A and B are shown apart, each in its own frame.
Chain A
Amino acid sequence: MSDAETPPDFDPVAPNTGEEFEPVDVFPDSDDFDLRPGADSCYKCSTCDTNCPVAEVDDDFPGPKFQGPEQWRLKQSDDDHEIDDSVMDCSNCMRCDNACPSGVPLSQMHNTARGEYVSEQMDKLSVEYIRNRILANYRTSAFLASKVPRLANFAMNFGPARWVMEKTMGITSERDFPAFAKQTFRDWWADRGGQAQSRENARAARRRRGLPEDADKKVAYFHGCYSNYNTPEVGKAMVRVYEEFGYEVVAPEQKCSGTPMFANGMLDDARRHAETNVSSMSELVDEGYHAIASCTSCSMALRQEYPELFDIDGIDKVAENTFEAVEYLRIHEDLKGEVQAADVDGDLAEEFAYHAPCHSRNQGLDRQAVELFRDLDGAEVEDVGDSCSGISGTYGWKEEKYEKSMEIGEEMFEHMEHAEGETGMTECPTCAMQMEHGSGYEIRHPLELLEAALVE
C-alpha cells in the first residue's frame, strides 16, 4: 500500500490488532479438552472425507479423518509428535462435522490442533503468521477503514498497493476488497434513536397486529463486523423485519465473532473477542432476550465453536439462546403464512441464484431460504447446488490458496450461470464476495427480500 494514501494508523504490514500480542500457550491446562471419546468413536468409514471440499482439489491435503481422530491419536501416543502443518490448509468450512454418523467432533479437533500448531510450532515472525493475523483480525482493519471509508475503498484496491500486498504478504491481488459503507450500521442505529426508537416501533407494530402492547418480544442483534462496516443494509433489514413482527431490538456491545480467528488458529485472539460477546449477550439472555445473527458464521461461532473451545461464564446459555435471524422467525412466527400472503415488486422482484453457506448447512439452515420463498409472489429463489463456494472466509484471500478456492467454487459459478436469475443470494458475507467475484452478480441477503415482502 502506498504511504501517501494510507490512513496514518492503518498499517497492513504489521499485526494490526491494536493490542500487544504475546504468544502464549493456548492450552495451559491441556486437560481442558479430552477428545478421546470422540477419537474413539471414529470407525474409519471415511464419510467425512467425502465431504471435504479442500481434499477434493488439493493433492496435498490429507482430509478431515486425518486432521481429526488420526492426528489426535498420534499426538497422544507420542509426546514428541508435532502437529502436521497440513492442518493449516483446512478451511474450517465444518462440512465434515455435519457428516460423521458417529458424532466425532471433527471441527473441534481441527480447531484445537490448529490452535496448538500456531501457538507452539509457527514462527511468529513469519510472513505467513503475520498475514494470517491481519486477515483474522478483519474487524480491526475494518474499524479503522470505516473511519475514512472513501479513502480506504480507494487505497485497498489501488493496483500497485495490491501488487505489493501480494508480493510481500501473500494476500491475493485477484480479489477486490469489499467496499466500506459510508455510514456503519451502528452509526445508523444510534442516529435513528437506538433501543428507545426500536421499542416505539415494536409497540406500534404490536398495536397494528392486535398483540398486547407490552408483549415480551425482544431480541439482541449480533450484527457482526460485516453488516456493520460493509453491508449495513442487511442489518437495517433485520431490524425492520423484526420490528414489523413486534420485536424490540437492541444492538449490544460486541466484537468479532471469532470465525476468521478459528480458521487461522488464533484462538487467543478469538477468546478475547468471545469474552466480550458472551458477557454482553449472557446478561441480555438473563433479561429474556434471544441473540440473533444475520451472518451464519457468526451464529455458528456463538452456538457451537464457543462452547466447544472456551470455558467462559454463561457460554452455554448464550449458545442455547442464539439463532439465525430468519430461523428464529420461522420458529416463533407464522413466517411461512405471511410470506405466502405477500408479494414483492420493484428492486427485489428478481430471480435469485441462491447459495447455502457451509456454516448455514451445519446449522440445518441450508434449505431455509429456498423453502421459505417458494410461494412468494414476484420473486424466485433457485438453489445453485450443494458445493462449497470455496472462499471459506480468509482461505480464498491467501495468495497460495486462491486458485484452489476458485476451483472449489467452479461448480457454484457454473450453476449460477445456468440458473434463471442474475442476482445472487446468500447469508454469508464472504460467500457473497466469492459469488460476486466468480459471476459478476450482485448479491443480496434473504433478510433484504423478507424486508421487501413484509415491511411497508
Chain B
Amino acid sequence: MAIESEVLVIGGGLGGLTSALAAAREGADVRLVSYKQSTLRQASGLVDVLGYTPDGDGPLTDPYEAIPTLPAEHPYRKVGVQTVRDALSLFDDAVPTYEGDHTDANALLPTHGGSIKPTARYPAGASAGLASDTRDTLLVGIEEMVDFDAPHVAAHLDATGVPFDVRGETIRFPGDLRADAKVTRYAKLLDTNSEVAVRGRMVPAREALAQRVNPLLEDEQRVGFPAILGDDNPGAIRDALSDHLGVDVFEVPMGPPSLPGLRLEDALFAALDEAGASIETGNPVVDFEGEDRIEKVFIEKNGARIPNSADQYVLATGGFVGKGVESDREGVYEPVFDCHVPHAADRYDWFEGELFGDHEFARYGVATDDDLRPLDASDDREFENLRAAGSVLGGYDFAAEKSGSGVSIATGYAAGQRAAQEAR
C-alpha cells in the first residue's frame, strides 16, 4: 500500500503552501510533504510582486502593468497577469493580517538596512511605518540586536529623501536578557507579558518596554521597532505599546531569523489545515517511480522508503537555498525528478566577476511550458502529471527584481489549481 491522495505537493515553502491551498480549495484531496523548514523563516515576510524590471528600472509603481513587458521565459509571463491577481486574492483571503490589497500600486516600506522597498503586501504590523506616510518617526533599536542600528537606519532613510523627519535611539531591552538572546525570547516575553525586573521592581514586559521609550519620544507621531513584537499576539502587543506611548507603533521587517516570516508560515499552515489538507514535514522525497507519468514518490525516513502516490504532483522544493536546485562541478540539476535545468555548460559563465553583478545562476531553475510542466532539454514535457512552482522555477532573478514571494504565490496558485482540476 502507499499513502494516497489526489494531489501531492512536495515542498512546504510559500510556493508549496499556496499550491496545496489552491488545490484544496478547488476540492481536491491534497497532501503536502516537506523536508525542512522553508526560507520563509529567513525572508522578511513582505510579499513583493515586482519592484524592479530585470533591467533594474524602478522602483515600479504598478507591478501588474510591468508584467507583460517581462521576458517570455519569466514565470509571470507563463501564468499571465490575471492569475497573479487571483493568486494574491487567495493569499489575502488566507492571511487576513496582511495589507495592501486596496490598491494595485506598490507600497514603499522601510527596511532594516534603511532603504525603501517597493512591495505589494505587508503585515499589518508594518503598516504604520509606510514611507509614503508623512508622520515624523522615531526608530528604536535594541542594544543587543546588532542587526538593527536605529540611528544608522534613520540616517539612511533620511538620505533616501523620505517625506518626514526620522530619528534613531537605542535602548536596552528591559529584563536581564543574555547579549545574544533569540528573537523568539523577546517575542515570548511580550506575548506572555511576563514580568521583568527593572531597577529592582517587577514590571510587565510591554509596560517596561514602553517606559524605556517614553522619555526618548519627542514630538514624533509613530515609533518603529525591529520585528520582535510577539509571535502569537503581535496585534495586542502593538496596541498595548501604542496606548502606553500615545503614538502609533510599527515593526520594521528584519533579516533572518524573521518573526514576520514565521508568523506568515503559521498563518498559511493554519489555512491549509482549515482547508482539510494532510501535511507531513520532516522527511524528504528522494525518489520516484514512473516513465511518462509519475506513479509514486518515496519519502525517506531514517533509511525506510515510504511510498506516496497521487494523481497529480507539484514540485515546490525551492531554489538553491531551499535545496530544490543543486549544483556540483559537473552542472546544475533538480535532485528529486532529475528535471532538466538549462544552464551554461561552462561554469565560468554561471556568474560575473562582480559580487552584485548580473549572475546567470540567479535565474537557474527548471523551465516549463505555459501549464507549468517542466520541460526536458528538447522542450518536451518531462512528465504528464508534474507541475513546478516557486523558486525551483528558472527564468527570473527574485533578488534583483524583488519578486520572490509574488512568483511563489502566483505559480503555486496556478500549479495547485490546475493539478486539482486535472485530478478530478
Given contacts A46-B257, A59-B185, A98-B36, contact A303 B42 (CB under 8 A): no
Select A55's contact among B39, B185, B304, beta carbons within 8 Å: B185
Instruction: Kindly state the separation between the CA atoms of A331 and B283 in the bound complex, as whole angstroms.
Output: 15
Check: B3 CB closer than 8 A to any chain A CB.
Answer: yes
Q: Mark A311-322, 1 if CB is under 8 A from B, else 0.
A: 000001001111
Q: Mark A289-307, 1 if CB is under 8 A from B, else 0.
A: 0000000000000011001
Nearest CB in chain A: distance from B212 CB, A: 17
Select A411's contact among B232, B262, B283, beta carbons within 8 Å: B232
Instruction: Kindly state the separation between the CA atoms of A99 and B39 in the bound complex, as whole angstroms.
Output: 11
Check: B182 CB closer than 8 A to any chain A CB.
Answer: yes
Select B302's contact among A60, A319, A332, beta carbons within 8 Å: A319
Select B278's contact among A62, A334, A367, beta carbons within 8 Å: A367
Check: B73 CB closer than 8 A to any chain A CB.
Answer: no
Given contacts A46-B256, A100-B36, A101-B321, contact A334 B282 (CB under 8 A): no
Q: Mark A334-371, 1 if CB is under 8 A from B, else 0.
A: 10000000000000000000000000011110110001
Instruction: Kindly state the separation between the CA atoms of A366 and B301 in the bound complex, as whole angstroms.
Output: 14
Check: B1 CB closer than 8 A to any chain A CB.
Answer: yes
Given contacts A59-B177, A103-B36, contact A323 B42 (CB under 8 A): no
Nearest CB in chain A: distance from B276 CB, A: 8
Check: A52 CB closer than 8 A to any chain B CB.
Answer: yes
Nearest CB in chain B: distance from A277 CB, A: 15
Check B282–A363 contact: CB distance below 8 A: yes
Instruction: Kindly state the separation between the CA atoms of A52 and B181 in the bound complex, as whole angstroms.
Output: 12
Question: In this complex, what residue of A is CB-closest to B323?
Answer: A101
Question: In this complex, what residue of A is CB-closest to B42?
Answer: A45
- Chain B residues lying within 8 Å of A11, measured Cβ to Cβ, are none
Check: A49 CB closer than 8 A to any chain B CB.
Answer: yes
Instruction: Kindly state the separation between the CA atoms of A372 and B185 in the bound complex, as whole angstroms.
Output: 34
Select B283's contact among A51, A63, A333, A364, beta carbons within 8 Å: A364
Instruction: Kindly state the separation between the CA atoms of A101 and B318 in the bound complex, as whole angstroms.
Output: 11
Instruction: Kindly state the separation between the CA atoms of A245 and B184 in the bound complex, as whole angstroms.
Output: 45
Check B184–A59 contact: CB distance below 8 A: no
- Chain B residues lying within 8 Å of A56, measured Cβ to Cβ, are 182, 184-185, 187-188
Question: In this complex, what residue of A is CB-closest to B258?
Answer: A50
A residues contacting the other copy or chain, number (CB 8 A): 45
Check: B41 CB closer than 8 A to any chain A CB.
Answer: yes
Check: A164 CB closer than 8 A to any chain B CB.
Answer: no
Given contacts A46-B256, A47-B257, A331-B3, contact A55 B184 (CB under 8 A): yes
- Chain B residues lying within 8 Å of A333, measured Cβ to Cβ, are 1
Q: Mark B131-164, 1 if CB is under 8 A from A, else 0.
A: 0000000000000000000000000000000000
Check: B180 CB closer than 8 A to any chain A CB.
Answer: yes
Check: A269 CB closer than 8 A to any chain B CB.
Answer: no
Nearest CB in chain B: distance from A376 CB, A: 15
Question: In this complex, what residue of A is CB-closest to B262?
Answer: A50
Q: Mark A57-94, 1 if CB is under 8 A from B, else 0.
A: 10110110000000000000000000000000000000
- Chain A residues lying within 8 Å of B185, measured Cβ to Cβ, are 55-57, 59
Check: A422 CB closer than 8 A to any chain B CB.
Answer: no
- Chain B residues lying within 8 Å of A307, measured Cβ to Cβ, are 302
- Listed residue (B37, B283, B302) with the most chain A CB atoms within 10 angstroms of its CB: B302
Given contacts A307-B302, A320-B304, A364-B283, contact A49 B1 (CB under 8 A): no
Check: B280 CB closer than 8 A to any chain A CB.
Answer: yes
Check B41–A47 contact: CB distance below 8 A: yes
Instruction: Kindly state the separation between the CA atoms of A355 and B301 in the bound complex, as whole angstroms.
Output: 22
Instruction: Kindly state the separation between the CA atoms of A56 and B231 in the bound complex, as whole angstroms.
Output: 11
Instruction: Kindly state the separation between the CA atoms of A330 and B257 in the bound complex, as whole angstroms.
Output: 35
Check: B279 CB closer than 8 A to any chain A CB.
Answer: yes
- Chain B residues lying within 8 Å of A316, measured Cβ to Cβ, are 303
Instruction: Kindly state the separation between the CA atoms of A364 and B192 in the bound complex, as whole angstroms.
Output: 29
Check: A120 CB closer than 8 A to any chain B CB.
Answer: no
Check: B271 CB closer than 8 A to any chain A CB.
Answer: no
- Listed residue (B182, B185, B323) with the most chain A CB atoms within 10 angstroms of its CB: B182
Check B177–A367 contact: CB distance below 8 A: no
Check A367–B279 contact: CB distance below 8 A: yes
Nearest CB in chain B: distance from A80 CB, A: 23
Check: B80 CB closer than 8 A to any chain A CB.
Answer: no
Check: A128 CB closer than 8 A to any chain B CB.
Answer: no
- Chain B residues lying within 8 Å of A303, measured Cβ to Cβ, are 301-302
Nearest CB in chain B: distance from A29 CB, A: 24
Question: In this complex, what residue of A is CB-closest to B192?
Answer: A410
Q: Mark B192-231, 1 if CB is under 8 A from A, else 0.
A: 1010000000000000000000000000000000000000
Check: B404 CB closer than 8 A to any chain A CB.
Answer: no
Instruction: Kindly state the separation between the CA atoms of A63 and B282 in the bound complex, as whole angstroms.
Output: 20
Select A321's contact among B3, B184, B304, B307, beta carbons within 8 Å: B304
Question: In this complex, what residue of A is CB-closest to B280?
Answer: A364
Check: B327 CB closer than 8 A to any chain A CB.
Answer: no
Check A99–B37 contact: CB distance below 8 A: yes
Check A49–B184 contact: CB distance below 8 A: yes
Check A57–B278 contact: CB distance below 8 A: no
Q: What are some 17 contacts across the A-B interface (CB < 8 A)?
A: A49-B257, A55-B182, A55-B184, A56-B182, A56-B187, A56-B188, A99-B41, A100-B37, A303-B302, A319-B303, A320-B303, A320-B304, A331-B3, A331-B307, A364-B281, A367-B279, A407-B194
Binding site for B on A (CB under 8 A): 45-47, 49-52, 55-57, 59-60, 62-63, 98-101, 103, 303-304, 307, 316, 319-323, 330-334, 361-364, 366-367, 371, 374, 383, 407, 410-411
6 additional A-B pairs beyond A55-B181, A331-B2, beta carbons within 8 Å, are A47-B256, A62-B178, A63-B182, A323-B304, A361-B282, A364-B282
